[in-house]
Structure 1
Amino acid sequence: MLQLSTIDPFKSKLNMLVLPVAEEIPLFNDRKISAVLKKVEAFKEFKGAKDDQITYYDPQNLKTQRLLLLGLGKTSDIDLERLRSMGGRAVKKGIELGLTEVALLIPSAKKLNFNQEDIITAIGEGARLANHQFSKYKKPTHPALKRVKLILNTTTRTARFRSLVSRINTICEGTLQARDWINTTSNDKTPAAFARDIKRIAQKSGLKVDVYDERWLKNKKFGAMLAVAQGSESRPRLVVLRHPVRGAGKKAVALIGKGVTFDAGGINLKPTGSIETMKCDMSGAAAVAATLITAARLNLKIPLVGVIPMVENMPSGTATRPGDIVKSYSGKTVEIGNTDAEGRLILIDAMAWAIRTFSPEITIDMATLTGACVVALGENIAGLFTPDDTLADSLVDAGKQTHERCWRMPLPDDYKELLKSDMADLSNISASRWGGAITAALFLSEFVKNTRWAHIDIAGPAFLKKGNTYGEAGATGFGVRLIYRLLETIKGI
């Protein structure tokens, strides 16, 4: 838990005080800090460069047991992500040492090219996100910290900063909830089990929740989604979350999240090397649910709807076969060219139903949809597809602020030719092996009408094999901070 504090860090007994240091100028106007840094100049191993760190034990004239100096590099190179990373590094060091709390001294906005709110947000996010360990199946070597204190060198106007820290805690807790859902193994995360857990947490947060079963899906003719589900003994679910705003007079924003709780690929079975991490193929669903929960907890003044289709994609005697043709909720028929192109099938039914049912102003889907997007953009950037320039700019800006980065990709009309089928309205797979992220997005676009739409392919950043400064290896919770930032800042809704 983050706490804002205005205590004098040099007169207070602390387990560890963390001091950010720039390479060429002091970030604090304080005699005691200057004296410490003067002593540090004698050590060649610490110059304040990026990733430099040094620990003083029982520093003279200070009551803290440890003083951790973390280098940020030159001030001209310091961005919000570097501050976020610094917050994470501080917390991870505290956990490594088995401490119960750490205190971070927040640099003044006068020394950096950001406002104070952005500085606190970045450092606070890094610290809060790092202070978490997925311990469902294995006890961690050292527990998370009980407290992380963010210390301001001022007593003025702290009330607004306290509410800001509360907001940071809530948004990060949503991100961490998404991480925990994604990291949970598929034997504990069938569609029914995942739906129950979302419902439990969402209702406690004040959301309205409906969970629809296979009978309802058949009655509503969710033919594409049911085609994916039919190979598994774990039956499908559709979870609908609603965050109504009384008297808002606004159309809702609809968020659609791909929820394949395990993706074996179906009859087109995934190979060794690809199948092992497919518990994460519901990362879009986790991000959507966590975003709605966060919005409810923070009383966001924009009505939201979350629609989450949940299935397992498994091979069996009842599984959909390559070459089968199915009728989607929209009425369009789809030839199954590849059963491992399943995410788009469950999304088209969920999106078409959400648009028809709720008439949203904006519809955004998030999905671990294509390996092609990872090839194009790597593991740290999501692919953004939308015909709406304003929405694209807003999402890219939100990505820059949160470091959940998006790169806008093209939607060329002529590529739609690659999705033609001789037997059905569309094929679920391109006739070419190239441009797979684009053709997947174009396939989705065929089922979107009368709404501003964006598709975010999070196949790269949703799940990492190696951790970073404010996260463990595994799920990142990508999308929660991105979309919440968008909802807070976007105009025209």
Structure 2
Amino acid sequence: MTTPAQITFAAVSIDPIAETTGKIAVLMGADGKLDKGARRVNSLMRKALTRFAESDRFTKMKAGDAVELAFPANMAAEGVIVAKLDNRRDVDEARKVGVSIAKLRGSGPLLVLAGPSPRASEIALGIALRGYTFTDHKQDKGEAPGAVTMMVAKPEDATADYAAKAAVAEGVFFTRDLVTEPANVLTTTEFADRLVALKDIGVKVEVLEEKDLEKLGMGSLLCVGLGSASPSKVVVMQWEGGKKGAAPFALVGKGVVFDTGGISLKPAAGMEDMTMDMGGAGVVAGVMKTLALRKAKANVVGLVGLVENMPSDRATRPGDVVTSMKGDTIEVINTDAEGRLVLADVLWYAQDRFKPTGVINLATLTGAIIIGLGHENAGVFSNDDTLCNAFLKSATAEGEGAWRMPMGQAYDDMLKSHVADMKNVGTRAAGSITAAQFLKRFIQDGMPWIHLDIAGTASVKEDTAYAPKGATGWGVMALNRLIADTVEG
């Protein structure tokens, strides 16, 4: 399990600066003004920071950027990182400063001279989020990162403020670990076991096995895993931090631990990336961990459908008709459109059992959303403007790209089947929208609902704002904020 860096906050003191090993980071505004700690560094370096602030190199730096001045004179540190922070109250800029510092910090100890910055905890979160690395399956795990200490004007306040943000970082890392794990390690059983372990931090967890799903009539979900030796499961996680007996908010995640496409087999090229097809379930797990760690005053239930989509003599065939828990029949046109079959039953179960105040589901559902939005934004589909606008506001505040997509009857009509109540895919046109329309058929009347298609944002080939290439943990921060602002608020 990967854990974020341990970050502590201390009062500003110039005494240890000269002897500090590792690296030291200083914050500098566009005016080149230095705080107490930075002035001490500047003095030791014989005004090198002042000269740098007057250089074209500093002028051309963007807010949030950082550079390193290596092997400073009169100091034990191996480098001084200069980060440009123009607006000390801007959350996004402060986090970007943290990310930029993390990229340059190396593996040794790090001292950040944050001084009077009121956003020191945001800088710390940026450092924590960007410090992710997954080495579980490498012999050379590299050096363990050194301690991070931030000198601030009010360390007690910064420590208290960072506590909730540290919980967010833990949740993001949990999601990234799950999404990164190979499918031979993260089987449906192993995934469920890792979620059961959340009991240790106060989450109520139960695992529904195949016999339970059969009794519930989850024929849509079960048909996806027929070709695999890994048993299909549904894991239910409950965080009950709100008013006793109050209806929860529900999060539902697609957990396809590996997707070959089934009988509708995917091309070989790129199939190795399908270890991330459980990304929606990974985000739900990360949010639940965050809520528990920060003791959120909210009732939230997270449900994930765990399956593996494999071809075999038992696998579902194109043309088969299955019956969902709702009772609707589905003609399976393409077995590679399996995620919606999983979500259909889990969505219905979540509403039927928990009567939630609202539902958000997440899934790496369609390649079409990547064609439409690339890797910058997740697709947002909703039947409720109030809930949707609140989520978009939260996503924007957390710097997680999200874009609302259209829905409508014309798209729904594309799912008509001549042998069943519906088919699981439409035509090639508007593939992400017809997938959302399919899911909407399993949302009860009057239930506020959002479908998040995170196929483009769950795992990427290049660095993002807060993560190295690979699993991003997209959605944990936005959903945590949404719950804090609307469910707790």
Q: What's the TM-score once normalised by structure 1's chain length?
A: 0.90
Which letter does structure 1 place at the counterpart of 2:98? G
Of the candidates 451, 463, 467, which is equivalent to residue 463 of structure 2?
467
The answer for the alignment partner of 2:172 in structure 1 is 175
Tell whether the 8 Å contact from 1:235 to 1:311 is kept in structure 2 after alignment: yes
Tell whether the 8 Å contact from 2:253 to 2:363 is kept in structure 1 after alignment: yes
Other structure's SS at 1:277 match: helix
Q: Deviations over 1:207-228 (max 9, x none)?
A: 1111111111111110000111
Of the candidates 477, 484, 489, which is equivalent to residue 480 of structure 2?
484
Map 1:50-449 onto structure 2 (within 5 A): 50=62, 51=65, 53-60=67-74, 64-71=77-84, 75=86, 80-95=91-106, 98-99=107-108, 101-106=109-114, 108=116, 116=118, 119-140=119-140, 142-152=142-152, 154-155=153-154, 158-200=155-197, 202-245=198-241, 247-248=243-244, 250-430=246-426, 432-449=427-444
Which letter does structure 2 place at the counterpart of 1:162? T
The answer for the alignment partner of 2:3 in structure 1 is none
Tell whether the 8 Å contact from 1:179 to 1:477 is kept in structure 2 after alignment: yes
The answer for the alignment partner of 2:20 in structure 1 is 14
Inter-partner Cα distance in structure 1 for 2:396 and 2:406 = 20
Percent identity between the aligned chains?
A: 32
Question: Cα 1:401–1:9, aligned 2, differ >3 Å: closer, same or farther?
Answer: farther
Q: In the alignment, does 2:9 pair up with 1:4?
A: yes
Most deviating of 297-306 and 4-13: 4-13
Inter-partner Cα distance in structure 2 for 1:343 and 1:78 = 42
Tell whether the 8 Å contact from 2:87 to 2:93 is kept in structure 1 after alignment: no
Q: Gaps spanning 5+ residues in structure 1: where?
A: 110-115
Please report how far the alpha carbon of residue 482 of structure 1 lies from its aligned counterpart in structure 2 after TM superposition. Answer: 1.3
Question: Cα 1:489–1:144, aligned 2, differ >3 Å: closer, same or farther?
Answer: farther
Inter-partner Cα distance in structure 2 for 1:141 and 1:193 = 23
Please report how far the alpha carbon of residue 364 of structure 1 lies from its aligned counterpart in structure 2 after TM superposition. Answer: 0.7
Please report how far the alpha carbon of residue 280 of structure 1 lies from its aligned counterpart in structure 2 after TM superposition. Answer: 0.3
Q: What's the TM-score once normalised by structure 2's chain length?
A: 0.91
Question: Cα 1:187–1:86, aligned 2, differ >3 Å: closer, same or farther?
Answer: same
Which letter does structure 2 place at the counterpart of 1:6? A
Tell whether the 8 Å contact from 1:10 to 1:63 is kept in structure 2 after alignment: no
Please report how far the alpha carbon of residue 139 of structure 1 lies from its aligned counterpart in structure 2 after TM superposition. Answer: 4.2
Tell whether the 8 Å contact from 2:32 to 2:50 is kept in structure 1 after alignment: no
Q: Deviations over 1:140-178 (max 9, x none)?
A: 5633423222221x24xx433211112221210111011
Inter-partner Cα distance in structure 1 for 2:164 and 2:83 = 26
Which letter does structure 1 place at the counterpart of 2:111? A
Please report how far the alpha carbon of residue 197 of structure 1 lies from its aligned counterpart in structure 2 after TM superposition. Answer: 1.6
Inter-partner Cα distance in structure 2 for 1:325 and 1:303 = 37
Q: Gaps spanning 5+ residues in structure 2: where?
A: 1-5
Tell whether the 8 Å contact from 2:257 to 2:276 is kept in structure 1 after alignment: yes
Tell whether the 8 Å contact from 1:133 to 1:144 is kept in structure 2 after alignment: no
Inter-partner Cα distance in structure 1 for 2:277 and 2:14 = 45
Inter-partner Cα distance in structure 2 for 1:252 and 1:442 = 24
Question: Cα 1:196–1:31, aligned 2, differ >3 Å: closer, same or farther?
Answer: closer
Inter-partner Cα distance in structure 2 for 1:440 and 1:69 = 47
Inter-partner Cα distance in structure 1 for 2:488 and 2:296 = 15
Question: Cα 1:335–1:273, aligned 2, differ >3 Å: closer, same or farther?
Answer: same
Inter-partner Cα distance in structure 1 for 2:336 and 2:245 = 41
Inter-partner Cα distance in structure 2 for 1:10 and 1:407 = 50
Question: Cα 1:42–1:122, aligned 2, differ >3 Å: closer, same or farther?
Answer: closer
Q: Deviations over 1:265-317 (max 9, x none)?
A: 01111113331100000011111112112211211111111111100011111
Which letter does structure 1 place at the counterpart of 2:395? G
